[in-house]
Amino acid sequence: MGSEDLFRKRKARSGAALHRQRLERARNKRYLIVCEGTKTEPYYFRELLDDLQIRQQAVRIARNDGASPDRVVAHALALYEDDALSGDAYDTVYCVFDRDRHTTFEAAVQRTKDLNAAAKPLVAITSTPCFEVWLLLHFGYTDQPFHHAGKKSVGDQVVTALKAKSGFEKYSKGQTGIYTHLKDKLTDALNHATQLRKHCQATGSINPATEIDQLILTLKSLSS
């Protein structure tokens, strides 16, 4: 066999291997989740991923670098760009944060939209007033707005409502086992979140609201 024929065969094998790698990469997308909360949300998503048997190589939950929405987005972008330098950037980066009383909320949401339009796939996953709205929806549908009262912030009011539910009387931020405790009610929560979104679209309301269900549906699709 001539050296030219050998070169062609090696090149063909190399091309075929690269094609297989690209197909494998397409089937195994990589996602990054950056949360405002340092414990509650990361614990919840980690328990969900473990339950769905999704590898950490497929979905990374990163530590945040500041609790305000603008800091969450800035940190998520830095992680995305750092990963992109390796030539294998995350397919989607989810920025999970609350409206609560944050003054940078709207700007942070707009920043993710602008970055997405610039081919940097950051997506805001927000809750109003806070993440606990998603937890509440496991117990039933509600579109009752929350407001601060006295010394209790608007977020505190949601937590108070959650503590009124069976099994959550002692709920606290940073608690583990939340996903496991609510797992059997997940389908109900997803349905209630869809119902709430339709209500918000029909009425123009933004309180309460959550997009956590959309992220969860994406994660569930990875295990199917």
Closest CA to 184 of 53, 51, 56, 45: 51
- For residue 90, what are its two tokens? 């995350």
Q: How many CB atoms lie within 10 A of CB 114?
A: 11
Higher pLDDT pick, 22 / 67: 67
Give every CB contact of residue 51 below 8 A, 6+ residues apart in sequence. 179, 180, 183
Write the CA distances from 87 to 13, 27, 80, 90, integer angstroms: 22, 17, 11, 10
Query: What is d(CA 78, CA 145) in angstroms, rounded to the nearest whole number?
Result: 35
Percent of the chain with pLDDT over 90: 78
Q: What is the mean pLDDT of residues 136-145?
A: 98
Give per-residue pLDDT as tens, 21-48: 444 444 579 999 999 989 999 999 999 9
Give the strand order in the sheet containing 59-62: 59-62, 31-35, 92-98, 122-128, 209-210
Query: Is pLDDT at 19 greater than 50 in this prediction?
Result: no
Query: What would the two tokens of residue 25 be?
Result: 């990469």
Read off the pLDDT of residues 121-136 as tens digits, 9 standing for 90 and up.
999 999 999 999 999 9
Its pTM stands at: 0.87
Please give the class, per CATH, of domain 29-222: alpha beta
Give whole-number Cα distances, 37 to 18, 55, 61, in Å.
Answer: 40, 22, 12
pLDDT in tens, 149-200: 888 899 999 999 999 999 999 999 889 999 999 999 999 999 999 999 999 9
Residues 86-118 have pLDDT tens digits of 888 999 999 999 999 899 999 999 999 999 999
